[in-house]
């Protein structure tokens, strides 16, 4: 059961659930590909029937490619864990952000306390539809929620909801 489902108040409805964008996996996947390319290049350059094969240099290339790929794999697993343990939601009463599995960090703000919501998107963020959402409340400002998919939809769920009508 998701954290949000456990903390919903009676009669409270979820309007929008947010998630981290898939773009966060691009760097670790790139490392995996670079590791594989290094290993294949080591085979092609050092073991192909040339004037004299260099098996020791091929082993060095395999080792380097393996280390780069291993680092990419651990980075990818960390990103999967981050995405799986992060929840964002807008209900008809509040905004909820939860991060972490063992060490959990949660932030909640009632919708009637929200003053404004900022959305920051880079060029890649505009192309792939991800960005950072910053919520300004009465006397408080949240840290930006970075890497969120569909940030304008998330912002609109916060700003178009009238807390008085709830």
Q: Which tops the pLDDT comparison, 22 or 47?
A: 22
Name the pTM for this structure.
0.78
Residue 42 and residue 62 share a domain: yes
Residue range of the domain that includes 40 = 25-81
Question: What percent of the chain is modeled with pLDDT above 70?
Answer: 92
For the chain, the average pLDDT equals: 87
pLDDT value, residue 84: 92
Residue 93 and residue 65 share a domain: no
pLDDT value, residue 22: 93
Other beta carbons within 10 angstroms of residue 165's beta carbon come to 6
Computed over its alpha carbons, how large is the radius of gyration of the chain?
A: 23
Residue 100 and residue 53 share a domain: no
Residue 95 and residue 153 share a domain: yes
Residue 131 and residue 76 share a domain: no
Is the predicted pLDDT of residue 149 greater than 80, yes or no? Answer: yes
Residue 6 domain-assigned (yes or no): no
- Model confidence band, residue 137 (pLDDT cutoffs 50, 70, 90): confident
pLDDT value, residue 32: 94
Q: What is the dihedral of CA 112, 110, 17, 77, to 10 degrees?
A: 140
């Amino acid at each position: 059961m998701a954290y949000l489902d456990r903390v919903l108040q009676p009669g409270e409805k979820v309007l929008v659930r947010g998630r981290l964008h898939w773009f966060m996996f691009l760097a670790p996947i790139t490392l995996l590909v670079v590791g594989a390319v290094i290993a294949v290049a080591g085979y092609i350059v050092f073991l192909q029937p040339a004037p004299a094969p260099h098996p020791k240099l091929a082993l060095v290339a395999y080792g380097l490619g393996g280390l780069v790929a291993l680092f990419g794999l651990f980075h990818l697993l960390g990103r999967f864990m981050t995405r799986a343990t992060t929840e964002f939601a807008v209900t008809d009463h509040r905004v909820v952000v939860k991060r972490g599995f063992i060490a959990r960090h949660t932030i909640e703000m009632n919708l009637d306390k929200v003053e404004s919501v900022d959305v920051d998107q880079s060029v890649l963020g505009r192309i792939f539809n991800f960005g950072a959402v910053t919520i300004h409340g009465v006397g408080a400002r949240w840290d930006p929620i970075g890497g969120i998919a569909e940030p304008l939809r998330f912002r609109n769920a916060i700003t178009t909801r009238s807390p008085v009508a709830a």
